[in-house]
Amino acid sequence: MSKKKTAAIILGAGMGTRMKSQKPKVMHHIGGRPMINHLLATLDVIKCDHTVVVVGPGMDDVAAAVSPHKTAVQQERLGTADAVKAGVDALGPFKGNILILYGDTPLITEQTLNAMLAERDEKNNPAVVVLGFEPMEPGDYGRLVTDDEDGELIKIVEAREAAPEELAIPLCNSGVMVVDGSLLDGLLSRIKNDNAKGEYYLTDIVGLAREDGFSASVVEGDEEELVGINSRYELAQVETILQDRLRERAMKAGVTLVDPASVYFSFDTQIDPDTIVEPNVYFGTNVTIGRGAHIKAFSHIDGAYIGNGANVGPFARLRPGANIGDGARVGNFVEIKNSDVEQGAKVNHLSYVGDARIGAGANIGAGTITCNYDGFMKSHTDIGEGAFIGSNSALVAPVKIGDGAVIGAGSTITNDVEADALALARPEQKNIKGAAAKLRDKKRALKEKSKKGSPE
Ligand code: UD1
Ligand code: CA
């Protein structure tokens, strides 16, 4: 890692017209958070000292998302050099390495950034290090013109300005660079906009640095890291690449994914070793799972904690604040929100549990509902350790079921039940001897009569 201090300027002023969106492009999510936050996280890993995000006018939501990092507003879209200038002005005097990144190219890795910073420290001390790559389709990318002998970077030519032999160069400009902070401001101030687009091209700094006797060089990167997002289609492509990385990370950490491609993670999903995740499971943000848990197929898990050896699913829905204890079981078609299901408790079938505590070892029968909302207020249900709630019970909160209590099936419980009591809150059963047969005879006779009366 470089011993010099590092600052980063992230360009994000573009609205991203092709996204056809009300929100700035860099605010679109991948892996459960805005794409800009992925870049900031990578900069954290390389211990970047200062970061400025360049935004367009009125992009207050970007400023909020990147806080406490600074934002600088580029008033008019005059080109990449002008955008970087806005960032440099906000950064203030800085003599270390300045990384220039694009907010819509969020997959760049810390390894690549470190390789570029290391190249800046090489003995020929390049003023500019550019991240190049050889895309499948070079198209509109700027072309990197290098010296045949020493491989040094001579200049960057924009595709529109390139001569045919330059257009044939496979090595392209990713846009990412590292520049000597003591030179950047001076170089930027000499860039002109007398070109095809009438914009201030950041790419001109390579030629200008060389005019001053400095060198420039190229580090080559992988196209997969450099996919830019300009459309919803590319957003989905980047999501796919990111998901593959997250799946690989989970498997390397000792998690079994039976069918990795069908499991969706968030950037912060945390799973301990020996947990098994079956196909078609979705993890929203803020999920933590212990060791040896089993997450069965088609479960949707968001903002939940799942303890060691717990069993969840198939078809379970865990919402924020679901806290599933060690060895607990949450079965099919069960929804749990803001509730503690303590160690070894079971909610195996077709239940809604919201704003509740289910004590250790309690058993919640099929179809049990905690009625936590009366249309105005949310209330709490407390179920004691080892309690048994019979199937199809409605527990009308606020209500407390004591340890070891038993609730008869089909009860609607509105009053607290003390420990070890049996509560039955349903009409008593009455059997009337022979009444079913009598009823059948009566109905049959009625049907016969109506058939005779009706015309064929
Ligand atoms: C730029 C490079 C090109 C490179 C390509 C890689 C220049 C002149 N050209 O071209 O060599 O191959 O990126 O993708 O730098 N932006 C601002 N303010 C502006 C202009 C741009 O913030 O005034 C931001 C955009 O939001 C975007 C990034 O800078 O994130 C790149 O701008 P864009 O106009 O897409 O540059 P390209 O023409 O693609
Ligand atoms: Ca572009």
pLDDT computed for residue 455 by the predictor: 66
* Residue 146 located in a structural domain: yes
Of 6-10, 123-127, 140-144, least confident by mean pLDDT is 123-127
Q: Give dist(CA 188, CA 208) in Å, integer.
A: 9
Tell whether 147 is covered by a domain: yes
Which are the contacts of 101, defined by CB distance < 8 A and separation ≥ 6?
8, 9, 10, 11, 39, 108, 176
In angstroms, the CA 456 to CA 444 distance is: 20
Q: Cβ distance 82 to 198 under 8 Å?
A: no
Residue 337 belongs to domain with CATH number: 2.160.10.10
Reported as a single tens digit per residue, the pLDDT across 5-56 is 999 999 999 878 999 999 999 999 999 999 999 999 999 999 999 999 999 9
What does the block give as tokens for 365?
């029968």
Cβ–ligand 1 contact at 173 (below 6 Å): yes
Is 51 in the same domain as 146? yes
Kindly list the catalytic residues. 349
Is the beta carbon of 200 within 6 A of some atom in ligand 1? no
The pLDDT value given to residue 79: 95
- 50 secondary structure, DSSP code: E
Inform me whether the pLDDT recorded for 454 exceeds 80: no
Residues 65 and 109 placed together within one structural domain of the fold: yes
In angstroms, rounded to a whole number, what is the distance separating the alpha carbons of residues 236 and 232?
6
Write down the pLDDT at residue 122: 85
Q: Which ligand is nearest to the CA of 133?
A: 1
What's the rounded mean pLDDT across residues 344-361? 98
Section 261-270 average pLDDT: 98
Q: Tens of pLDDT along 195-209?
A: 999 999 999 999 999
Residue type for 201, please? Y
Q: Whose CA is nearest to atom 19 of ligand 1?
A: 79
Q: How many domains does the chain have?
A: 2
Ligand 1, closest atom to CA 226? 14
Nearest ligand atom owner, CA of 174: 1
Q: Are residues 45 and 143 in the same domain?
A: yes
Looking at the CA of residue 13, tell me the nearest atom of ligand 1.
22
- How many angstroms separate the alpha carbon of residue 210 from the centre of ligand 1? 22
Residue 47 forms part of a structural domain: yes
Summarize pLDDT for 393-428 with one digit per residue, the tens: 999 999 999 999 999 999 999 999 999 999 999 999
pLDDT digits (tens, 9 = 90+) for 230-256: 999 999 999 999 999 999 999 999 999
Residue 250 Cα, ligand 1 centroid: separation in angstroms? 34
Q: For ligand 1, is residue 321 a contact (CB within 6 Å)?
A: no
- For residue 372 and ligand 1, the question of a CB distance below 6 A is answered with no
> Residues of the chain with pLDDT > 90: what percent?
96
Give the distance (Å) from ligand 2 centre to CA of residue 102: 9
2 pLDDT higher than 80:
no
Three-class SS state of 288: strand
Each residue of 275-301: pLDDT tens digit? 999 999 999 999 999 999 999 999 999
Residue 439 lies in a domain: no
pLDDT confidence tier of residue 456, bands split at 50, 70 and 90: low
φ, ψ of residue 90 to 5 degrees: the values are: -70, -30
> Domain range for residue 33?
6-226
Q: How confident is the model at residue 124 (pLDDT cuts 50, 70, 90)?
A: confident
Query: H/E element holding 171?
Result: none
What share of the chain in percent tops pLDDT 70? 99
Same domain, 65 and 190: yes
Q: Which of 9, 21, 80 to mutate to test the pocket of ligand 1 (most atoms within 8 A of CB)?
A: 80
pTM: 0.93
Q: What is the pLDDT of residue 16?
A: 85
d(CA 3, CA 214): 21
